[in-house]
Amino acid sequence: MLNMWNFATPLLLAFAAASAAEPPRFTGSPSCATSMCHGGAGELRHQTTIWQKQDIHSRTYNTLVNARSAQIAAALKIPDATTSTRCTTCHAPFHDVPQAAFLAEITKPTEGVSCESCHGPAEKWIRPHTRPDYSHRDRVLAGLRDLKHLYVRANSCVACHQTVDPALLAAGHPELLFELDGQAVSQPKHWREKGDWHGPKAWLVGQAVALREMSAQLAREKTPSEKLTTPWSASLWLLQKLDGLDSALPALKSAANAAQAHPAADTLARRAAELEWSSELTRQALQRLAKTHTEFADAKVPAAQQARRAERLVLALDRLTAPLDKAALDKLEPDLKDLFALAQSLPDFAPEKFAKTLEVFSRKL
């Protein structure tokens, strides 16, 4: 007998293609939160509970009503942070979505960064995505954002986790530093990574996407401040150390400015996401970055620039050492902790001390 669902799949996809001109609407987190779907008990149905109770993304709106936000808003003459697009774009994304884009009046801006902020408007994929015969590709074709793909995942997160308007920075908004692997690991997981997951690969994709966004922001500024130029320069320096790590990855050595770095970084992110990663690549990347201890001993490089390089480097070493076996980690951990401590304060950064500690770390590798 012909399976009606197998027969229906191409029909559904054809319908989706025919209606592509009409943007899909948002259905709201309540549509995901029923007990039979993502709001129930047990490992496979507790995603909404994790998001609501443990994930800071469900509380991003609350940030807009605290004292610090009030001070930033006052400095920028913003009447209300909870309604200004300069704030809500990241902290309450549904505030900026026209009401006509919602399937029902059940979604409120106060829910912060919710399901569809990351997975995409659900109108056209929410019903069929639970079908047992539906493949991941079927779901993506129906409109579900492909967060299993590291390039797509990085692009979904970086906009709100890397760049900040210089005026907001001047008014007191904290600087942001995007690190896909580390931030994903520290987030309460409502998902499971696939079996061939490599954290160092996610780190590289995330850093390339971050450099792309920093380059785009820098290129837009007529007179960029040091708060923009030095982190960008440090990010470029870090990734240039990995030039030639694999023949499939483009080199960034020739990127002399933000306009050149922007497309090069995007290409690096795309190709890194498709690369078949290995433990050997992790080992080589670690060794290359650890050998930069000689550069931190170079007194010709300004201390402020060295501090920014160290800031990026210690996070890289942390993510690249994470997959090592326990014996190797135990040997490296004390020096890695010292490196983090030395890089923690930008004004107090001492390049010579950092160089010596990094050299010890390098020898142990």
What are 161-218's pLDDT values in tens digits? Answer: 999 999 999 999 999 999 999 999 999 999 988 877 899 999 999 999 999 999 999 9
pTM: 0.91
Could you tell me the sign of the dihedral formed by the alpha carbons of 269, 273, 276, 277, in that order? positive
Examine the pLDDT at 3 and tell me if it is beyond 60: no
Quick: pLDDT tens for 115-159: 999 999 999 999 999 899 999 999 999 999 999 999 999 999 999
Give the pLDDT score at 42. Answer: 80
The SS3 call for residue 287 is helix
Q: What is the pLDDT of residue 7?
A: 33
- For the segment 67-98, what is each residue's pLDDT rounded down to a tens digit? 999 999 999 999 999 999 999 999 999 998 88
pLDDT at 20 (0 to 100): 53
Q: Which two tokens stand for residue 80?
A: 């209300």
Closest CA to 357 of 333, 336, 328: 336
Residues contacting residue 309 through CB under 8 Å, at least 6 positions apart: 234, 237, 238, 292, 295, 296
Amino acid 285: pLDDT:
98
Mean pLDDT, range 10-15, rounded to an integer: 38
Q: Name residue 201's amino acid.
A: K
Please say whether the beta carbons of 277 and 200 come within 8 A.
yes
Residue keyed to tokens 């690991």: 185
Distance CA 299, CA 184 (A): 36
CB atoms within 10 A of CB 99: 7
Rounded to the nearest integer, the mean pLDDT of the chain is 91
Residue 15: predicted pLDDT? 40
DSSP result, 151-195: HHHHHHHHHHHT---HHHHHTTPPP----HHHHHHHSPPSS---T
Burial of 346 (0-12, 13-18, 19+ CB in 10 A): middle
Token pair 């993506």 in the structure block, residue = 140
Burial (Cβ within 10 Å: 0-12, 13-18, ≥19) of residue 271: middle
Torsions phi, psi for 253 (to 5 deg): -60, -35
Token pair in block for residue 106: 């059940």
For 286-340, the pLDDT digits (tens) are 999 999 999 999 999 999 999 999 999 999 999 999 999 999 999 999 999 999 9
**% of residues, the chain, pLDDT over 70:** 94
CA atoms within a 13 Å half-sphere pointing along the CA-CB vector of 93: 19
| More confident: 8 or 114 | 114
Rounded to whole angstroms, the Cα distance separating 177 from 231 reads 9
Q: Rounded CA gap, 121 and 111, in Å?
A: 15
Q: pLDDT tens digits for 220-269?
A: 999 999 999 999 999 999 999 999 999 999 999 999 999 999 999 999 99
pLDDT value of residue 228 = 94
d(C-alpha 63, C-alpha 87), whole Å: 10
Give residue 280's pLDDT band: very low, low, confident or very high (50, 70, 90).
very high
So what's the pLDDT on residue 21?
Answer: 64
Residue at 178: amino acid letter: F
Alpha helices in the chain (DSSP H): 4-18, 47-53, 60-63, 67-75, 85-91, 115-119, 136-141, 150-161, 166-170, 180-186, 199-220, 226-240, 258-274, 279-290, 293-296, 303-321, 326-343, 351-364
Under DSSP, is residue 7 helix (H, G, I), strand (E, B) or coil? helix
**Residues 6+ away with beta carbon under 8 Å from 55:** 187, 188, 190
Q: CA 240 to CA 232: how far, in whole Å? A: 12
Distance between CA atoms of residues 238 and 52, nearest Å = 36
